[in-house]
Amino acid sequence: MSDLAPYIPPSDEDLRRLIRFSVDDGRIWLAGQRMLLIHAAALAALRRELIMSLGARYTRQYFMRVGFTAGHSDAALAKTVRHDSSFFEKFMVGPQLHMLEGAVRVRILSFTADEVSGRFYAEVRWDHSWEAEMHRRDFGLSEEPVCWMLLGYASGYTSAFMGRRILYRETACVGCGHDFCHIIGKPLEEWNDEQEDGAILFDRTYAPPQVSIPPRVQTARPDPPSELIGRSPAFRAALEKLHAVAPTRVTVLLTGETGVGKERFARLLHKLSPRAENAFVAINCAAIPFDLIEAELFGVERGAYTGAHTSRPGRFELAHGGTLFLDEIGDLPLPAQAKLLRVLQESKIERLGGGRCRKVDVRIVAATNRNLEEAVREGRFRADLFYRLNVVPIHIPPLRERGEDIQALAFALLQRFATLHDRPVPTLTDRACHALLHYDWPGNVRELENLIERLVITTPAGMAIDASDLFPNLAFSRDGAIVTSHGLLSSEGSNKPSSSLVDELIANGLTLETLERKLIEEAIQRARGNLSAAARLLGLTRPQLSYRWEKKYAKRKEKSYSSRRNPSSSMTEA
By the criterion CB under 5 A, which residues form the site for Zn ion? 129, 132, 147, 173, 181
Proportion of the chain in helix, strand, coil states, percent, rounded to 5:
50, 15, 35
Contact between 536 and 518 under an 8 Å Cβ cutoff? The reply is no
Q: Write down the least CB distance from residue 561 to Zn ion, Å.
A: 47
Q: Which is nearer to Zn ion, 52 or 181 (CB)?
A: 181
What is the rounded end-to-end Cα distance, in angstroms, of the chain? 55
Q: Write down the least CB distance from residue 57 to Zn ion, Å.
A: 17
Q: Write down the least CB distance from residue 133 to Zn ion, Å.
A: 9
What HEC string does 37-92 produce? CCCHHHHHHHHHHHHHHHCHHHHHHHHHHHHHHHHHHHHHHHHHHCCCCCHHHHHC
Q: Write down the least CB distance from residue 185 to Zn ion, Å.
A: 14
Q: Which is nearer to Zn ion, 108 or 229 (CB)?
A: 108
> Radius of gyration of the chain from Cα atoms?
32
Q: Which is nearer to Zn ion, 168 or 265 (CB)?
A: 168
Q: Which is nearer to Zn ion, 231 or 315 (CB)?
A: 231
Q: Which is nearer to Zn ion, 101 or 453 (CB)?
A: 101
342-348: which pairs have CB atoms within 8 A and are 24 or more residues apart?
Answer: 343/298, 343/316, 344/251, 344/385, 344/388, 344/389, 345/388
Q: Which is nearer to Zn ion, 94 or 177 (CB)?
A: 177
Contact between 120 and 188 under an 8 Å Cβ cutoff? The reply is no
- Rounded Cα distance between 279 and 256, Å, is 24
- Rounded Cα distance between 151 and 183, Å, is 8
Q: Write down the least CB distance from residue 95 to Zn ion, Å.
A: 15
77-81: which pairs have CB atoms within 8 A and are 24 or more residues apart?
Answer: 77/15, 77/18, 77/30, 77/31, 78/161, 80/31, 81/14, 81/15, 81/18, 81/31
Q: Write down the least CB distance from residue 70 to Zn ion, Å.
A: 17
Alpha helices in 369-466 (DSSP H): 372-377, 383-389, 403-420, 430-438, 444-458
Q: Which is nearer to Zn ion, 64 or 173 (CB)?
A: 173
| Residue 226 per-residue DSSP state | S
Q: Write down the least CB distance from residue 212 to Zn ion, Å.
A: 31
Burial class, 515, CB count within 10 angstroms (exposed 0-12 / middle 13-18 / buried 19+): middle
- Rounded Cα distance between 375 and 393, Å, is 16
Q: Which is nearer to Zn ion, 177 or 261 (CB)?
A: 177
Contact between 235 and 405 under an 8 Å Cβ cutoff? The reply is yes
Q: Write down the least CB distance from residue 145 to Zn ion, Å.
A: 5
Q: Which is nearer to Zn ion, 171 or 499 (CB)?
A: 171
Q: Write down the least CB distance from residue 421 to Zn ion, Å.
A: 38
- Measured over the CA atoms of residue 562, residue 564, residue 570 and residue 571, the dihedral's sign is negative
- Rounded Cα distance between 389 and 383, Å, is 10
- Rounded Cα distance between 451 and 470, Å, is 7
Q: Which is nearer to Zn ion, 52 or 132 (CB)?
A: 132
Q: Write down the least CB distance from residue 175 to Zn ion, Å.
A: 5
Q: Write down the least CB distance from residue 87 to Zn ion, Å.
A: 27
Write the CB contacts of 417 (distance below 8 Å, at least 6 apart in sequence): 423, 452, 453, 456, 457
For 552, other C-beta atoms within 10 Å of its C-beta total 14
Q: Which is nearer to Zn ion, 170 or 294 (CB)?
A: 170
Q: Write down the least CB distance from residue 173 to Zn ion, Å.
A: 3
Q: Which is nearer to Zn ion, 113 or 173 (CB)?
A: 173
